[in-house]
Structures are given as C-alpha cells and as structure tokens.
Amino acid sequence: MSEFEFIKHLKARLTHSAHTILGVGDDAAVVDCPAGEQLVVTTDTLNVGVHFLQETAPEDLGWKALAVNLSDLAAMGAQPRWCTLAISVDHANAHWFERFLEGLLALAHQHGVDLIGGDMTQGRLSVTITAIGTVPDGQAIRRDGAQSGDDLWVTGCLGEAAGALAYSRVGQLNLHARAADPSDEKLRQRLIRPIPRIAAGIGLRNLASAAIDVSDGLLADLRHICQASQVGAHVVFAALPHVAEDPRLGGWQAMADLALTGGDDYELCFTAPVTARAAIDAAMVTSATPAARIGTIESGSALRVTLQTGEYALPSVLGYEHFR
C-alpha cells in the first residue's frame, strides 16, 4: 500500500462535524472555532520500545495514542474536537493500518473528534497525535491556580496500569492476550486502553483551581501543580483509591509505590476550594466519574505523603522521566 493509497483509504473512512470545513486531502485542514471559545492544543508521541512494546496490538496502539492526548485535553477542561496523526512505520501494511485506525477511530467517534490531517513516513514505529479542543473563553483549567487550603482530589483508582506492567515483568501477566482472571484483565485494560476523563474535565470548569492528568505518576504530576502554583501538598494515602495489594508484587510498600509513582493512569488530579465540595460531588455524579479527596494544598513548596504507618519516604525520582 503506497502513501497515497493509504490517504485515499483513510479519507473514505472519515466523517466530519460541522466545525470541520476541510479535512484530510488538501495541503492543510480548515476548522471553525465555535464563537466565544478558545482552542486548546496538545501533542504526544508514542515510540516503540519506549512507550509501547513491538507486540502491542495495532488497535490498542491506535486507541492509546489518541487517549493520552485526549487525557491532556480533559485536564484542561476542554471539549476535544479535532486531531492530526503523524505516523512512522518501517513497512506499509494495509491490514496493520486498518486495525490501527479501528482503535483510533473508535475512541475518536466516542468523543466526536475529527481526524483532519497528518503525515506518514518510513522509520521506526512511532505515532504522534496532535489533539485540539475548545473551552469557553477563559475557562481552561491550568496548573497554576492551586491555593493553600484547597482540597486535593483525584479521579478513579491509581496504580492499576503500572500494576499490569509490574505483573508482566514478573511473568504473572501477558499484556498481549486476554487474561483468564477478571481482575488481571481489568488491570491489563487499564494499561492498554486508558479512558480519558473528558466529561469530568468539562464538569470541573469553574470549579477546579488547578488540574493535571496523571500520566507519569501521581507525585510527579502533583509536583507540577505545586511548582506552577508555588504551593506544597499533603497527600493522605488512606484516602487514595489504589491498586489492590498483592504478594506477587512485594506487598504493601510495592503497592504504595505503584499508586504514588507508577505511570499511565490517565486520571485527573485537581485542586479546588473547600467551598466547591458539594458542586464537585455533583459534577462527578453527572459525569459518572468516581473521585476522592486525597489531601490538602499547603503553603510552602513541600510535597508529603502520610501513610498509615508514618511518612512516605519520597523517592528521588517521583515518576517516569525521559533522558534519565
């Protein structure tokens, strides 16, 4: 399949919303930003061997490449609308592409996202997606608005995706096949098919003072909020919904490490004034998103975690970092 056959095939598969004036096929796409809204733009790359394994099913790769980008839009409170796809592959394989697109477009359709352009080159397998969303003027949720005294919240349950990876490393889980045990399969799905918290992010507009998506690990990402907002934070571990403890992974401490520093959760960590508690509870019910209050924003710059047994000793590396 040549590059041009691929583009023709792709074009035939795409549908567009009214905000897309011109999609795939010209030198560039043309879109209409709804009146009174601002564009929110993000890019993330997934590289083979760094972000995913060579054996990853193409459907799962397509899904995840878009999901990690939509998660960034969710953390801004944005409504996703468009995406572009730049992909490098070492050889053109029509069947592989079809499956890749199936995964990507399944998630795109769920959120009304139009694929409006991209590029295709030969090289080591790598996928870069740019996602574009919109927010009403001035309502994007940023990292720099947390205030001392704010509540600290997180959606969902942390450490499950990192748990799946940990199980696979000790030979307890095959990431590339459905697991027989339902709880193992749930962890595997958390890693290979993350679900971006779009509805929750939109519901947090005008409520959250700051937000970030948890992609590198809770503490690493919370530190970004603290640095941007010039505050500290106190996490009460007992309040944090986390992956189940399992002797196969080394017990309680290992589980706490997964929940606090494991990556790939794609949950939202956010802060909000105490007065917003009831409104946030209501917004989470409306968006069908579980959320928990896990601590407090403090003055200063320290990040600390209280465990049932005392203080958690923060590792020098709080989460995943490239070039380390």
Taking CB under 5 A as the rule, does residue 3 contact Mg ion?
no
Sorted by sequence, the CB contacts under 8 Å of residue 117 that are 6+ apart come out as 23, 24, 28, 29, 84, 85
Interface residue with ligand ADP among 21, 25, 176, 302 (CB under 6 A) is: 25
String of contacts with ligand ADP for each residue 94-133, x by CB under 6 A: ---------------------x-xxxx-------------
CA-based nearest residue to 217, from 103, 314, 323, 113: 314
Sorted by sequence, the CB contacts under 8 Å of residue 5 that are 6+ apart come out as 94
Sorted by sequence, the CB contacts under 8 Å of residue 105 that are 6+ apart come out as 13, 14, 62, 115
Restricting to residues 119-178, name those near Mg ion by CB under 5 A: 119
The dihedrals phi and psi of 187, each to the nearest 5 degrees, come to -65, -40
Tell me the C-alpha distance between 235 and 213, whole Å: 16
Sorted by sequence, the CB contacts under 8 Å of residue 324 that are 6+ apart come out as 317
Tokens, residue 150: 């704010």
Q: Where does this chain touch ligand ADP (CB under 6 A) — which range of 24-32, 68-76, 177-185, 188-196?
A: 24-32
State which residue, 56 or 126, has the beta carbon closest to ligand ADP. Answer: 126
Interface residue with ligand ADP among 26, 95, 123, 182 (CB under 6 A) is: 26
String of contacts with ligand ADP for each residue 65-94, x by CB under 6 A: --------------------x-x-------
String of contacts with Mg ion for each residue 263-302, x by CB under 5 A: ----------------------------------------
Which residues are at the interface with ligand ADP (CB under 6 A)?
7, 10, 24-27, 85, 87, 115, 117-120
Chain contacts with Mg ion (rule: CB under 5 A) = 119
